[in-house]
Chain A
């Protein structure tokens, strides 16, 4: 019986020569990454082109590997961070920062090609992280719904009481 099963195994394995290979030849052939893929981290702007980040430190607090470091500016009426630093050599791409962010400022995008020859280059500063668009959340503007008047708009702030369900 062992002989039969051994020969049958050999034959079935041989037939795999004519099967399609499952290898994705990566550099030439890119794999499909879904829009919600957790790759490189970016900082987005609101529809008015202002920085969304309000320096609340929630992302830094929730980060399990402590790879996010930021500091608020001292200027009045400006909540944007003075510096915002993500150490991607530590980041585990868990996406907790994105979930914690109250203003949808910090987002993970489908890009993982971040290799560097020097480890220092994996520390991304604010100018490396900040993009000019709104990312995955096109319409959200924190200052319009939070009851805080945004610095450069004349619009009446929304009362937080009327926002309640």
Chain B
């Protein structure tokens, strides 16, 4: 019985995530419009709310074309990997104390890190299987970028793990009942957020796509719903990173008056909007700059954060 309930809960959560990710495509266009003194898509439905329906209909009925020079099997699997790994990441997110797919996984944080790492495969294989120069360059960039930013993402998160003494995300949220970790772990939070942006390959770190130099990067050769899965996967990635930031540094569901799930979704929405704001505001760095930030600035800073946290914990105890 519990299995059935958990299964239903999981299906509900994952469906909501996919729908939310699709809605996010519209939200992003609307917000970008407002930030550029435009209106954005406001034609379909009330203020454009049905735009996603139109987009979905369009993307499903497009010709699903696999290039003859592509590696067919891997070409087809790659978008599924991206989508699946991102959705797997949601398995460990604790929405509230009782609501979530696997609340008490004792390696929750490691599972999340593992899933974000695995999503690299989707991107790299897409770039490789497309058998096209632009795709391959995009895939290479994705691999280098995500691996280097993963390094200090893990290190930045370690500060939280040290303070909590657990990889269990529910424990991490419960440890923030009185003080959100963003205060003692501010540097860690900034590093995690930057790494998260790079993991979700969002602007300003969207070099794997890099429209103006690589066509569309790793998904240049993709069309129809295969492209749609990359797209939805990317937006689901944004939601995942935002929710993870809230869980790790902004007290998860903790908050006064309103029910916990409202607080959780409210905080997550704030970060999602911040992600979109970054896209509206910041230009893309050069590729070597991106690598230099990662290895020469962020990595030492995260090591410093780790050392200071450890020293402070020793001094306190």
Which residues does A use to contact B, with CB under 8 Å?
6, 9-10, 12-14, 16-17, 19-23, 25
B39 touches A21 (CB 8 A): yes
Which one of A6, A12, A14, A19 has the highest number of Cβ atoms from chain B below 10 Å of its Cβ? Answer: A14
Does B281 have its Cβ within 8 Å of any Cβ on chain A? yes
CA distance A1 to B112 in the complex (A): 33
Assuming the contacts A23-B39, A25-B39, asked whether A17 and B282 have C-beta atoms less than 8 A apart, the reply is no
Q: Which residues of B, 264-317, contact A by the 8 Å Cβ criterion?
A: 277-278, 280-282
What does the 1/0 interface line of B31-52 toward A look like (CB < 8 Å)? 1011111110000000000000
B38 touches A23 (CB 8 A): yes
Sample of 9 more A-B contacts, CB < 8 Å, known A10-B282, A19-B37: A9-B282, A10-B277, A13-B35, A16-B34, A16-B36, A17-B34, A20-B37, A21-B38, A22-B37
**A16 contacts which chain B residues (CB < 8 A)?**
34-37
Query: Whose C-beta in chain B lies nearest to the C-beta of A11?
Result: B281
CA distance A10 to B280 in the complex (A): 8
| Interface SS of chain A | helix
CA distance A124 to B280 in the complex (A): 46
Q: Which 10 A-B pairs have the closest CB atoms?
A: A13-B281, A10-B281, A23-B39, A9-B281, A16-B35, A13-B280, A22-B37, A13-B35, A17-B34, A21-B39
B39 touches A17 (CB 8 A): no
B37 touches A21 (CB 8 A): yes
A22 touches B38 (CB 8 A): yes
Interface size class of B (residues with CB under 8 A): 10 to 19
CA distance A98 to B295 in the complex (A): 66
**B281 contacts which chain A residues (CB < 8 A)?**
6, 9-10, 12-14
Q: Which residues of B, 209-238, contact A by the 8 Å Cβ criterion?
A: none
Which one of A9, A12, A13 has the highest number of Cβ atoms from chain B below 10 Å of its Cβ? Answer: A13
CA distance A21 to B42 in the complex (A): 13
**A17 contacts which chain B residues (CB < 8 A)?**
31, 34-35
**B39 contacts which chain A residues (CB < 8 A)?**
21, 23, 25
B34 touches A21 (CB 8 A): yes
Query: Whose C-beta in chain B lies nearest to the C-beta of A27?
Result: B43
Contact of A14 among B35, B38, B282 (CB under 8 A): B35
CA distance A9 to B39 in the complex (A): 20
CA distance A13 to B34 in the complex (A): 9
Which one of B31, B33, B35 has the highest number of Cβ atoms from chain A below 10 Å of its Cβ? Answer: B35
CA distance A19 to B38 in the complex (A): 10
**A13 contacts which chain B residues (CB < 8 A)?**
35, 277, 280-281
A10 touches B278 (CB 8 A): yes
CA distance A10 to B79 in the complex (A): 32
CA distance A154 to B278 in the complex (A): 78
**Minimum CB–CB distance for A101 against chain B, Å:** 40
**Minimum CB–CB distance for B42 against chain A, Å:** 8
Query: Whose C-beta in chain A lies nearest to the C-beta of B274?
Result: A10
CA distance A21 to B31 in the complex (A): 12
CA distance A17 to B36 in the complex (A): 8
CA distance A13 to B36 in the complex (A): 8
CA distance A20 to B37 in the complex (A): 7
**A14 contacts which chain B residues (CB < 8 A)?**
35, 277, 281
